[in-house]
Structure 1
Amino acid sequence: MSPTPRRFPPLRRVLGRWRGPGVVLAALGLVLSLLSIGPASARADLRATDKAGAVSSPRSANAPVRVAEFVAECPFTHRLPDDPIVFPGLPGASHMHSFFGNDSTNARTDLAALQRGRTSCSPTVDLSSYWTPTLYDNGKEVEPTGTTFYYLGEGVRDDVIATIKPLPLGLRIVAGNAKATGVGDPTSIARWSCLHHGEVNPSKDFVNCPAGSMLESYLDFPQCWNGKDLDSPDHKSHMAYPVGGQCPATHPVAVPKLRQVLRYPVSGDPSRFTLASGAGYTMHGDFFNAWPEDEMARRVRDCINVIVKCGADGRP
């Protein structure tokens, strides 16, 4: 609906009882200035009118940011050559892993053990376990000092975001490939970059970060679930990545996308760096979901479905 034109009083009423050329000229200038305000400038100056004709207030500076997100900050807890997803019940069967979140995780971990454990995460309700291959700098272990796990709606269309379901309790997901053969290997989804240095192109392998920067690792987990299995024999088949902004028919249930962002306090010559699994392109991540169901559901409803950016407390 177009804004209602402004109506102004007759010039003689504006002039009223005042007399004198100076007053008349000043009043005339005021009226001409008001008449020069067109619809465009009026819209910029007035409250907006929506399509139904209802008047809405200008956006508040405190309005929620339109990003579908909630987060967990989960510092490093311990290292073990264990992997309760790939090598359950077999201590020492894996390469070295760095664990984040639940401090009880080992080769024999199951959901009940996680629910009895403690966590390094903020929020403390997140009892999930997250782990990656350990990073080495000239053979010395290096643990990240920035450990953020984002739960996102991005990757699918807005109408699909509105239908995203909570991650099921006990779901296990593996992202990336510990046996990737090179940067051209399509099964490698590693991404390395430098904190605050966008001029350094990201790569699937380690990059050379300027002094004072930090080496960053980004890893996106699949966000389409088959709707029935909490794991699969290859630990991947029950999950899939979206195609064309929606989940494939084989994996119809959209869930939040987990993005793992780790920042390591190292920089410089990348030839010094290795992962316990090998080169940078073998970066991978494991996730064992132990969020309380009501907390996960609330965050999905209040942050993801409505496309609102929330913090660690699950609130805008």
Structure 2
Amino acid sequence: MRRTRKRSTLANRAIAASAALILGGGGLIAANVYASAGEGWSGWSGSSPQQQKPLNAGQQMSTIDCPEVANGLRDVPQQARAEVDRELATMDTQITEAYQRFADQKEQIQQDPAFAQNAILNPLKDKRVAAIGRIVIAIDRVAQRPNGLESLAPCTLRADDANQVKDQDGGDQNGDGQDQDQGQNQDQDQGQDQGQGQGQGQGQAGNGPVAADFVDIQNVQPNVRNPRQLRGASRGTFTTDCGRNENGKFNPDNVIVAPGVSNGAHHMHDYVGNQANDAFASDDDLANGQTTCRNQGDRSTYFWPVLRLQNGQNENDANADGGGNDQNVGEILTPSQVTMNFVGSPVSRVTAMPKFLRIITGDAKAFTNGDANANASWSCTGFEDRQLKDKYPICPQGSQVVRTFTFQSCWDGQNTDSANHRTHVAFADGNGRCPNGFQAIPQLVQRIVYDVPQGTVFAVDSFPEQLHKPITDHGDFINVFNNRLMQQMVNCINGGRRCA
């Protein structure tokens, strides 16, 4: 039975008609309508400036593309961390506001290319320059002054034909050629879909997803490869049961990336486990918080962007931050099942995770950042040997949609967090070995299942400019196991047992 969030009012649940597109074989249908989310700092590597490609009148564009300033920060002193995090969150808000202007004035931009530069890109650049200046000052007070961040201020408009409107002082910030090809394919698909469905093929409010974001899982070839387990492998599994967010704990905060900032994520999260989690939660708050986990020794927090049905029905947050105010609309689905397993290493024993270890997997800005840190995994029950990274699955009747997050399994042995929230943890290589200087820890594998009605488009919440692309999916975890239960987990995994 399909499960959705209960509402306090039914008056605004008007059902809007949406055009349907037949996608692939089997007569499977997906309505071409919208959803949105994001956080984390990804692996943007930059590129040399190129000659500006002017926007032609009438050219279709899909989004605003800004480089991640955080990727230019090799280290952020603890004394400056709070101020830097606030400024980075402010820059996310600036992009959201600029994207809203872009969406509202898209027709004028198509008719007058100079309007985009003067009314959107230049003012956005000025705001980003000011925010970068404040970041530099905050770090300069306590450590070596970072250099070169100003080059990350200019943003571009990504056109549907893969051309971009560049800031006069900026270069192409798309990353490597592989990521550019991915953007080209998606943007070309969007252009081909123009005029079809609500929002001219761009979903509700013209914000995605589009037909090209979906694929029939039955047309995908098996692609899962697991590393071979060696003699020293830790073969056990520890399962924690924290429910499915039946109690409806949602907020658009992100205490890892934007602590102390309301609506730091610009999209709504599902939370299970720790119930004290919001933007202002300290480690002490989390340690003393209530938990939905069956074993009260697990007060960890697990959160991910909500999944919404694009069926024309409004949610309670239709006029709220993280919801409709950030172009995340539609009916929030409650998972039919959430499974959280901690597994071992195929080549070694695991060591205990430190308390309050923070891990982000995936990149909420992968559509514009490129896929260096993307870790989305989409599939269908009965077909989980076929995993999708940049497409949503269309499941056959009787099969349910599955999101899987396989978190980093290697820790640097010292830090519970890092300046970019990534470098203190790492993935093992294809053979299951951790990088030099890292040690294996229990690996969280999170499987979230949804009963999605046939013929209904769905999408994860996202930052508006990320267009609800499936590649932007991501998950967050803060370890708040007590020491005794953590040691039981380690012993279970290293002992090759299955424990719950």
TM-score by length of 2: 0.45
After superposition, where does 1:222-241 map in structure 2 within 5 Å?
Answer: 222-241=408-427
Aligned to 1:16: none
Aligned to 1:180: 366
Separation in structure 2 between the aligned mates of residue 292 and residue 247 of structure 1, nearest angstrom:
25
Aligned to 2:277: 105
Q: Cα offset for 1:270?
A: 6.7
Aligned residue for 1:148, secondary structure, equals strand
Aligned residue for 1:207, secondary structure, equals strand
For residues 267-290 of structure 1, give each alpha carbon's deviation from its aligned partner in whole angstroms, at most 9, with x where no partner exists: 434744343352221110100110
Matched AA of 2:283:
L
Separation in structure 1 between the aligned mates of residue 422 and residue 301 of structure 2, nearest angstrom:
17
Contact 1:97 1:133 survives alignment (8 Å): yes
Q: Cα offset for 1:93?
A: 2.0
Structure 1 counterpart of 2:441, from 248, 255, 271: 255
Aligned to 2:69: none
| Matching of residue 297 in structure 1 with residue 462 in structure 2 | no
5+ residue gaps, structure 1, are 1-65
| Matching of residue 73 in structure 1 with residue 246 in structure 2 | no
| Matching of residue 208 in structure 1 with residue 397 in structure 2 | no
Task: Identify the range of structure 1 (260-269 vs 130-139) with the bigger mean alpha-carbon deviation.
Answer: 260-269
Separation in structure 2 between the aligned mates of residue 105 and residue 292 of structure 1, nearest angstrom:
17
Separation in structure 1 between the aligned mates of residue 423 and residue 403 of structure 2, nearest angstrom:
24
* C-alpha distance 167-270 of structure 1, shift in aligned 2 (>3 A): farther
Q: Cα offset for 1:197?
A: 4.2
Matched AA of 1:167:
M
Aligned to 1:245: 432
Aligned to 2:37: none
Aligned to 1:115: 287
- Larger relative strand fraction: 1
Structure 2 counterpart of 1:91, from 253, 262, 266: 262
Matched AA of 2:488:
R
Contact 1:128 1:288 survives alignment (8 Å): yes
Q: Cα offset for 1:246?
A: 1.6
Q: Cα offset for 1:214?
A: 1.6
Structure 1 counterpart of 2:342, from 151, 168, 172: 151
Contact 1:167 1:296 survives alignment (8 Å): yes
* C-alpha distance 227-286 of structure 1, shift in aligned 2 (>3 A): same
Separation in structure 2 between the aligned mates of residue 202 and residue 294 of structure 1, nearest angstrom:
35
Q: Which runs of 4+ in 1 moved over 4 A?
A: none
Separation in structure 2 between the aligned mates of residue 109 and residue 171 of structure 1, nearest angstrom:
15
After superposition, where does 1:152-167 map in structure 2 within 5 Å?
Answer: 152-154=343-345, 156-157=346-347, 160=348, 162=349, 164-167=350-353
Separation in structure 1 between the aligned mates of residue 250 and residue 425 of structure 2, nearest angstrom:
27
Q: Cα offset for 1:186?
A: 4.0
After superposition, where does 1:283-294 map in structure 2 within 5 Å?
Answer: 283-294=473-484
| Structure label with greater radius of gyration | 1
5+ residue gaps, structure 2, are 1-233, 311-329
Contact 1:101 1:130 survives alignment (8 Å): yes
* C-alpha distance 176-167 of structure 1, shift in aligned 2 (>3 A): same
Aligned to 1:82: 253
Aligned residue for 2:393, secondary structure, equals coil
For residues 219-242 of structure 1, give each alpha carbon's deviation from its aligned partner in whole angstroms, at most 9, with x where no partner exists: 111111111110011111100011
Matched AA of 2:237:
E
Separation in structure 1 between the aligned mates of residue 342 and residue 446 of structure 2, nearest angstrom:
9
Aligned residue for 1:181, secondary structure, equals helix
* C-alpha distance 176-270 of structure 1, shift in aligned 2 (>3 A): farther
Separation in structure 1 between the aligned mates of residue 339 and residue 384 of structure 2, nearest angstrom:
19
Matched AA of 2:473:
M
TM-score by length of 1: 0.70
Contact 2:239 2:342 survives alignment (8 Å): yes
Matched AA of 2:250:
R
Aligned residue for 1:114, secondary structure, equals helix
* C-alpha distance 298-136 of structure 1, shift in aligned 2 (>3 A): same
Separation in structure 2 between the aligned mates of residue 227 and residue 107 of structure 1, nearest angstrom:
26
Matched AA of 1:133:
P
Separation in structure 2 between the aligned mates of residue 110 and residue 274 of structure 1, nearest angstrom:
27
Matched AA of 1:170:
F
Separation in structure 1 between the aligned mates of residue 250 and residue 489 of structure 2, nearest angstrom:
30
Identity of aligned residues (%): 32
Q: Cα offset for 1:122?
A: 2.2
Matched AA of 2:477:
F
Contact 2:462 2:472 survives alignment (8 Å): no
Q: Cα offset for 1:291?
A: 0.2
Q: Number of paired residues?
A: 238
Aligned to 2:462: 276
- Larger relative helix fraction: 2
